[in-house]
């Protein structure tokens, strides 16, 4: 029985194409804490499809986003009290296929929604209606804004103090969140420098307005910054960590600000962080009246909906490029189905992606007719 569903609408047991909601589904589950994603995570073939409560939506996921922090989550670095097994995946886009009675006041079956909630690496996810974001259609581009776009927007708005003529350095600039930091800094009339790992990525960065792309495989980032920006850079949007953090810190101008949104170089290490030369940090900051600030999206959720609405409007007006990487250029081809999440995570850590890595979950409709 499904007593929590609105029994008066038989459609709410069906998706909008007339196929039954199955009783079981595939999903990814963390079964062991490890920074090795393949060791930590198991694909379960026949998990029960969850039931939505009164204020919930049951979303059939069509696209799910890959984040560097998926590895931090599967390694147990965010919340030591959470013990395996637990669901994984932070964001999804799909259609509402069933919903509780209260939720039906604002949503209908077939509606496109996006959400940020643990457990998106599954064919179906229960999402509280108040956490869902209604969308005009199911498009992977919307997924790029949910975590990556919102992180770039809120961190630069709250901590960046951007203004015309400021010099902004974005590390991993062609990645899922870097692409937005570049574009938003350009919209604030800043001079933007981006680091990347290939000429192809450099070309992409120029296409979205980056003034100077530095390919760190062929150029010495430190030398370029010292030569071309002798006065230093005003803001650094930093997500790499390790040596890149040290280099960015040294490149700060007087009153410069370094915003840490991640340190991907350390996520796959058994020990976690790569060491930085932090013992010199107080002296370096004092000498330049500079600052280092951390940014974690979960601490800014009160501003999240505002940020997302702003980004969605920008995208719909054509003012924002939302680059999606489905892994078409990866050795085994496009990331399709939950089993390809493992490949997608590897692809990200090899630094191959341009834009946000997204996995498509195809759906075969078993019509009842």
Report the CATH number at residue 117. 3.90.180.10
Round to whole Å and give the CA distance between 33 and 77.
Answer: 9
Whether residue 2 is predicted with pLDDT greater than 60 in this model: the reply is: no
Whether residue 231 is predicted with pLDDT greater than 90 in this model: the reply is: yes
Whether residue 116 is predicted with pLDDT greater than 70 in this model: the reply is: yes
What is the model's pLDDT at position 17? 46
Of 50 and 17, the one with more pLDDT: 50
Model pLDDT for residues 280-300, shown as the tens digit of each residue: 899 999 999 999 999 999 999
Average pLDDT over the chain, rounded to an integer:
91
The two structure tokens encoding residue 215: 């390919």
Q: Are residues 295 and 151 both part of a single domain?
A: yes
* 80: containing domain: 24-138+323-360
Model pLDDT for residues 30-39, shown as the tens digit of each residue: 999 999 999 9
Cα three-residue angle 34-242-290, rounded to 5 degrees: 130
Q: Are residues 50 and 68 both part of a single domain?
A: yes
Round to whole Å and give the CA distance between 297 and 261.
Answer: 9
Q: Print burial letters for 135-165: b (CB count within 10 Å at least 16), e (below 16).
A: beebbbbbbbbbbbbbbbbbbbbebbebeee
Residues 6+ apart with CB under 8 A from 81: none
Q: Are residues 334 and 272 both part of a single domain?
A: no
Whether residue 205 is predicted with pLDDT greater than 60 in this model: the reply is: yes
CA-based R_g, the chain, Å = 22
* Nearest CA among 284, 63, 295 for reference residue 159: 295
pLDDT band at 267 (very low <50, low <70, confident <90, very high): confident
Q: Mapping DSSP to helix (H, G, I), strand (E, B) and coil, where does residue 43 land? A: strand
The residue assigned the tokens 């890595």 is 357
**299, 314, 331 - which closes a domain:** 299
Q: Are residues 263 and 343 both part of a single domain?
A: no
pLDDT band at 366 (very low <50, low <70, confident <90, very high): very low
CB 269 within 8 A of CB 303: no
pLDDT band at 8 (very low <50, low <70, confident <90, very high): very low
Q: Are residues 107 and 75 both part of a single domain?
A: yes
Round to whole Å and give the CA distance between 8 and 3.
Answer: 11
Q: What is the CATH number of the domain that holds 232?
A: 3.40.50.720
Q: Are residues 122 and 163 both part of a single domain?
A: no
Task: Find which of 68-82, 197-211, 262-276 is predicted with most confidence, using mean pLDDT.
Answer: 197-211
- Whether residue 207 lies inside any domain: the answer is yes
Whether residue 271 is predicted with pLDDT greater than 80 in this model: the reply is: no
pLDDT band at 23 (very low <50, low <70, confident <90, very high): confident
Round to whole Å and give the CA distance between 86 and 65.
Answer: 18
Of 207 and 13, the one with more pLDDT: 207
- Whether residue 196 lies inside any domain: the answer is yes
Q: SS3 letters for 248-316?
A: HHHCEEEEEEEEECCCHHHCCCCCCCCCCCHHHHHHHHHHHCCEEEECCHHHHHHHHHHHHHHHHHHHH
- Whether residue 238 lies inside any domain: the answer is yes
Q: Are residues 158 and 281 both part of a single domain?
A: yes
Q: Are residues 217 and 352 both part of a single domain?
A: no
Round to whole Å and give the CA distance between 343 and 338.
Answer: 10
Whether residue 57 is predicted with pLDDT greater than 50 in this model: the reply is: yes
Q: Calculate the CA 261 to chain-centre distance.
A: 11
What is the model's pLDDT at position 212? 98
**251, 266, 299 - which closes a domain:** 299
Strands (E), 34-105: 41-48, 56-65, 86-87, 91-99
Whether residue 1 is predicted with pLDDT greater than 60 in this model: the reply is: no
Q: Mapping DSSP to helix (H, G, I), strand (E, B) and coil, where does residue 155 land? A: helix
What is the model's pLDDT at position 273? 62
* Nearest CA among 126, 149, 139, 164 for reference residue 306: 149
pTM: 0.91
């Amino acid at each position: 029985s499904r007593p929590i569903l609105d029994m008066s609408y038989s459609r709410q047991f069906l998706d909008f194409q007339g196929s039954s909601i199955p009783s079981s589904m595939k999903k990814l589950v963390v079964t062991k804490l490890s920074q090795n994603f393949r060791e930590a995570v198991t694909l379960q073939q026949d998990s029960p499809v969850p039931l939505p409560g009164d204020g919930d939506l049951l979303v059939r996921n069509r696209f799910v986003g890959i984040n560097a922090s998926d590895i931090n989550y599967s390694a147990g670095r965010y919340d030591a009290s959470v013990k395996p097994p637990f669901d994984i995946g932070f964001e999804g886009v799909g259609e509402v296929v069933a919903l509780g009675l209260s939720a039906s006041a604002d949503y209908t079956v077939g509606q496109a929604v996006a959400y940020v909630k643990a457990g998106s690496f599954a064919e179906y996810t229960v999402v509280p209606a108040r956490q869902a974001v209604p969308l005009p259609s199911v498009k992977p581009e919307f997924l790029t804004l949910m975590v990556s776009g919102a992180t770039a927007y809120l961190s630069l708005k709250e901590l960046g103090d951007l203004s015309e003529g400021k010099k902004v350095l974005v590390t991993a600039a062609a990645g899922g969140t870097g692409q937005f930091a570049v574009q938003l800094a350009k919209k604030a009339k800043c001079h933007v420098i981006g680091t990347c790992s290939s000429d192809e990525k450099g070309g992409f960065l120029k296409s979205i307005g980056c003034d100077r792309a530095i390919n760190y495989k062929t150029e010495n980032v430190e030398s370029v910054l010292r030569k071309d920006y002798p006065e230093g850079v005003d803001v650094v949007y930093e997500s790499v960590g390790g040596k890149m953090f040290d280099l960015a810190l040294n490149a700060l101008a007087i009153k410069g600000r370094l915003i840490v949104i991640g340190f991907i170089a350390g996520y796959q290490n058994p020990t976690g962080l790569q060491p930085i030369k932090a013992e010199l940090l107080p002296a370096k900051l004092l000498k330049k009246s500079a600052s280092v600030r951390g940014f974690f999206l979960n601490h800014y959720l009160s501003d999240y909906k505002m940020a997302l609405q702003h980004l969605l409007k920008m995208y719909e007006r054509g003012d924002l490029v939302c680059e999606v990487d489905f892994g078409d250029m990866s050795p085994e081809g496009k990331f399709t189905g939950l089993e390809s999440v493992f490949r997608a995570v590897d692809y990200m850590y090899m630094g191959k992606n341009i834009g946000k890595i997204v996995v498509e979950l195809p759906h075969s409709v078993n019509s009842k007719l």
